[in-house]
Chains A and B, each alone.
Chain A
Amino acid sequence: MTTRARQRYLSDNPRFLAWVFMSPTVIYILALVGFPFVLAIIYAFTDITTGNPAIEFVGFDTIRAVLADPVFRRALGNTFWFAVVSNLLVVILATALAELLTRDFKGKWFVRFLILLPWVAPVSLATITWLWTLDSIFSPIDWVLRQVGLISENMFWLGRPQLAMGSVIAVQVWRIAPLAAVIVMAGLTAIPNDINDAVAVDGAGPWRRLFQVTIPLLAPIIAVAVLFGVILTISDMSVVFVLTRGGPTHSTQVLSTWAFFKGIEGGALGQGAAVALFLFPVLVGITAVILRLARRREVL
């Protein structure tokens, strides 16, 4: 067979095709995830700053300095509460939304569209809208509450430590609940109709159905939704960054924003990298736990 004839069959060769199809992904991951990740590990063991970009290893000094910083400890605690509370709310809201969206009613497509909107809208744009909604002077929420007579002066949603945390959590829930709802919806539609019919014939009411059949069957799917939610909450900084920039007085500071402020705005690249890396084992741990939970559950 001539070389040319051989080349004609190149597209039938699975080994060749594997390389062709895999390489974009491999290159993308190596360049944009792998390389920065390795760089961050290296930086965390140096005292590199934007003013002095020379790489000089200082052992664990940088990491020790970061851990000793009270703001870091505060950010760590905030990250924990931020992730736990918002995802707890997301799970409840998403399950309810999914139940609603699998029912048949008029105007269903419009409600679906409205619910998915927060997920489709660009994060920063949506968050800036919230920034205005929660503004200390012009907030429409305050205006409504004032008109109703519930408050006499503005709430300063983002200006008081506890309210600010609440606001950040609320916006985060608003943002990731649609994704979770869609995931849970997929799970709901995967439950065979016969199962729901059997529940009805067996004499169970709606609550028993929800807690003894639907939710146990959905558990693996809900675990997946939580996995995505937690990772999105811990690793993404846009909501906190746009709404409060971690304030007031670090009361909404989370690890991702703190890494950014330290490393990029403050110029302490080594310390920023160390803060960012602190998230890594946490995320790996969460992923492992949730995946194991998901696998242990019975699958249909």
Chain B
Amino acid sequence: MAIVEVRGLRKEFDDVVAVDGVDIRSEEGEFLVLLGPSGCGKTTLLRMIAGLEEPTDGEILLGGEQVNGLPPRARRVAMVFQSYALYPHMTVANNIAFPLKAQGSEPSERLDKVKWAAGLFGIEHLLNRRPRHLSGGERQRVALARALVREPSVFLLDEPLSNLDAKLRAAARDDLMEFQRRIGITTIYVTHDQVEAMGMGDRIAVMDHGKVRQLGTPEEVYHNPADTFVARFLGSPPMNLLEEEDFMFGFRPEQFLPEGVASDDNGRIPFTFYVSRIEYLGSERYLYGHIPGHEETKIIAMLPATVTLPLTENRDHQFSVAESQMRYFDRERGVSIPPQPLKT
């Protein structure tokens, strides 16, 4: 197990800056998620850690040792690709054995290791099959087994669940977490799916335009976003953001509650909410509308099914947000600032 650290990491492709000065330090055995929209540089960052891409500038340290310039095979990292990248002409057993052969290990030892890795993911019965005869979930397990058979010190995953259908994905997520806990291997996981990131990560690095916008636990990035990008990127629906003259403020849709529903009406900031449309989604209701005085900004409120209060469309309602749940941002730079007095 090892700590992964990058310092001032930069990567330019011709004119494009893919990664723009990133500093991240993982904990030992941590599950660290790189989260961001496509093109934010998260995959490039992962590929630089793996050694598939050479940084333009900056340092990469694995287990305290600088690995810049070393080929992937000298880094003791394992990687699982989005497409799994199984070798189509080899059986599952040979796929898993491939890193061991490359390492030059003894054939007898190799067999034991392959069985061990296959056992970890419950694919012993598939060893003689070829990848194209496997289902998506089985392929993913083979890819994981192949990555881990060498007992690497760092485990890198590039959107490994995105090729699975929704049902399988939940199960695969569970397996992956359970497995990572058991082995305790430092894991860096790239995804654009915030549900995966929130559910799996010990910490999340939210990235945009090659920069890390915020690095923190799921609670931190969700409840105390460092800037408006993080506030908008996380959460579905995203945080409501309104502009005042010299700052912005925001609140999560689930914190925006009608009068009389909140357990304690003290310390709450009241708003008039004009509801223009209501979506009934079974487990919750989405209320779309705006706050008078801020007509240009669409506001969404999310009420759980436990709130049975009758509400009607095209009418003003009294809503409120707990003071402690209000977030404030600088208007120009978008970064988080201390609470400001509201004029509304």
A interface list, Cβ under 8 A from B: 192, 194-195, 197-198, 200-205, 208, 212-213, 216-217, 297-300
Contacts and interface: CB of A to CB of B under 8 A. Distances in A.
A202 B82 contact: no
B73 A195 contact: no
A200 B84 CA distance: 14
B73 A203 contact: yes
Nearest to B87: A213
B132 interface: yes
B103 A298 contact: no
A200 B87 contact: no
A198 B101 CA distance: 14
A60 to B, nearest CB: 47
Given A197-B79, A201-B79, A208 B102 contact: yes
Contact of B85 (A192, A205, A212, A299): A192
A216 B79 CA distance: 23
Contact of A205 (B82, B102, B146): B102
B105 to A, nearest CB: 11
A208 B87 CA distance: 13
Most chain A C-beta atoms within 10 Å of own C-beta, residue among B52, B130, B147: B52
A209 to B, nearest CB: 9
9 contacts: A194-B81, A197-B79, A201-B51, A203-B102, A204-B73, A212-B101, A216-B89, A298-B89, A298-B130
Contacts of B102: 202-205, 208
A206 to B, nearest CB: 10
B58 interface: no
B78 interface: yes
B88 interface: yes
B72 interface: yes
Nearest to A197: B52
Contacts of B146: 202
Contacts of A298: 88-89, 130, 132
Interface in B136-154: 146-147, 150
Nearest to B143: A198
Given A298-B130, A298-B132, A197 B88 contact: no
B88 A198 contact: no
Interface of A is mostly: helix
B91 to A, nearest CB: 11
Contacts of A197: 47, 50, 52, 79, 81, 85
B303 to A, nearest CB: 44
B26 interface: no
A213 B94 CA distance: 12
Contacts of B50: 197, 201
Interface residues of B, number: 29
A192 to B, nearest CB: 6
B73 to A, nearest CB: 4
Interface of B: 47, 50-52, 71-73, 77-79, 81-89, 98-99, 101-103, 130, 132, 146-147, 150
Given A192-B83, A195-B87, A201 B52 contact: yes
Given A195-B87, A198-B79, A217-B88, A203 B103 contact: yes
A281 B37 CA distance: 60
Nearest to B82: A194
Given A194-B82, A194-B84, A298-B89, 12 more contacts: A194-B81, A197-B47, A197-B85, A198-B79, A201-B77, A201-B79, A201-B147, A203-B72, A203-B102, A204-B102, A298-B88, A298-B132
A200 B103 CA distance: 12
Given A208-B102, A298-B130, A200 B52 contact: yes
Contacts of B101: 208, 212
A149 to B, nearest CB: 44
B81 A198 contact: yes
Contacts of A200: 51-52, 71-73
A122 to B, nearest CB: 40
Given A197-B52, A202-B99, A202-B102, A300 B88 contact: yes
Contacts of B89: 216-217, 297-298
A17 B296 CA distance: 58
A213 B88 CA distance: 9
Contacts of A204: 73, 98-99, 102
Contacts of B130: 298
Contacts of B83: 192, 194
Contacts of B132: 298
A202 B72 CA distance: 8
B98 A194 contact: no
A300 B130 CA distance: 11
A201 B73 CA distance: 6
Nearest to A219: B89
A217 to B, nearest CB: 6
Contacts of B73: 200-205
A297 B90 CA distance: 11
A138 to B, nearest CB: 50
Nearest to A208: B102
B53 to A, nearest CB: 10
Contacts of B52: 197, 200-201
